[in-house]
């Protein structure tokens, strides 16, 4: 079972990829996000959610420990900063 981290996994662009990974039941998935997990649309129990600071190398190193693959769906256009 490969451990996959998905940066920007809370957005709509990544949802189809996440759905396909979940359907395969072959991956351990962690969503990396700047924000806490939404309470209105709960995350499936098979997905872990981790808040990270993308500007902090130590934060990213800690979040990616043991990760086999990183997929990035970060959209800089939607980030006002």
Residue spans of the domains in the chain: they are 2-78
Query: Which CATH number is correct for 2-78, 1.20.1260.10, 3.30.530.20, 3.40.50.720, 3.90.226.10?
Result: 3.40.50.720
pLDDT tier, 34 (very low <50, low <70, confident <90, very high otherwise): confident
Of the two residues 69 and 34, the one the predictor is more confident about is: 69
Is the pLDDT confidence value at 79 over 60? no
Give buried/exposed letters for 19-38 (b at 16+ CB in 10 A, else e). Answer: eebeeeeebbbbbbbeeeee
Please provide the average confidence, as pLDDT, over all residues in the chain: 86
Among 7-11, 52-56, 73-77, which is the least confidently predicted range? 73-77
What DSSP state is assigned to residue 58? H
Tokens (6 digits) for 72: 């990035």
Report residue 77's pLDDT band, with 50, 70 and 90 as the boundaries: low
Label residue 40 by pLDDT band (50, 70, 90). confident
pTM of the complete model = 0.81
């Amino acid at each position: 079972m490969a451990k996959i981290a998905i940066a920007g996994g809370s957005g709509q662009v990544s949802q189809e990829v996440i759905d396909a990974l979940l359907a395969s039941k072959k991956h351990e998935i962690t969503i990396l996000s700047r924000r806490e997990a939404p309470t209105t649309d709960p995350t499936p129990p098979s997905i872990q959610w981790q808040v990270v600071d993308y500007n902090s190398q130590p934060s990213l190193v800690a979040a990616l420990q043991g990760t086999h693959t990183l997929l990035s769906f970060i959209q800089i256009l939607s980030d006002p900063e």
